[in-house]
Amino acid sequence: MPRRRRPAGSADVSAAHAPLQARVELLLPDWIDGAVDRERRYVGDEDKVALAVELSRRNIEVGSGGPFGAAVFDHDGRVIGVGVNRVVPQTCSVAHAEMMAFMTAQTALGRYRLNETGAMTLATSAQPCCMCYGASFWAGIDTLLIGARSEDVMALTEFDEGPLPADWIGELERRGIAVRRDLHRDAARDVLRRYGESGVAY
């Protein structure tokens, strides 16, 4: 997403003299609980990505963030954590859908390596950007399921997905992470298109 540069000398002087922040809090929108069936088993890969795409759609319809959704599932297909893009509402550049899903899942399980006791899957409405791609190596997932491609994101919106290795899928697979993409790609592209045409930046 294009960055706006602050004019030279316009730094917030009061912030410079305030105490350093000792706590960081990121919140998902209030509607999340009602959008996820915690009792359901999302068995198929398509079902998992469908949830991620639905979260992305709901996020832009409500106006609670950007057009991206993600969810972490355990080996039984149960939802462990979810995320939507919250960069603008939370004033935090790392609050991407995948990062939020990782963090909520890690908090729920009480560990930073998600797959210590069983296989874990990340389903995302669109191909991870370079930041979320890197986090995928360390979060502890065994499968990555993707809806829209990065070229879809950049063609339909103003988001910049950043650089990835030429063989980015191979890099994941060599570390034991299976990759499937183009699941519900058309539906994911439709969300991106609607967001891009709205002219609104969340």
Reference 36, options 71, 85, 76; nearest CA is 71
Among the residues of 41-149, which ranges form H helices?
45-62, 87-90, 97-109, 130-139
- Provide the 8-state DSSP code for 67: S
What does the alpha-carbon distance between residue 105 and residue 102 come to, in Å, rounded to a whole number? 5
* Known catalytic residue at 197: no
Using CA atoms, how far residue 86 sits from 32, 93, 178, in Å, is 12, 9, 27
Q: Which residues, 6 or more positions from 44, have their beta carbon under 8 angstroms from its beta carbon?
A: none
Residues in the chain: 202
Identify the active-site residue in 25, 39, 98, 151. 98
Q: Mention every residue, 6+ apart, whose C-beta is less than 8 A from residue 17.
A: none
Catalytic residues, by residue number, are 98
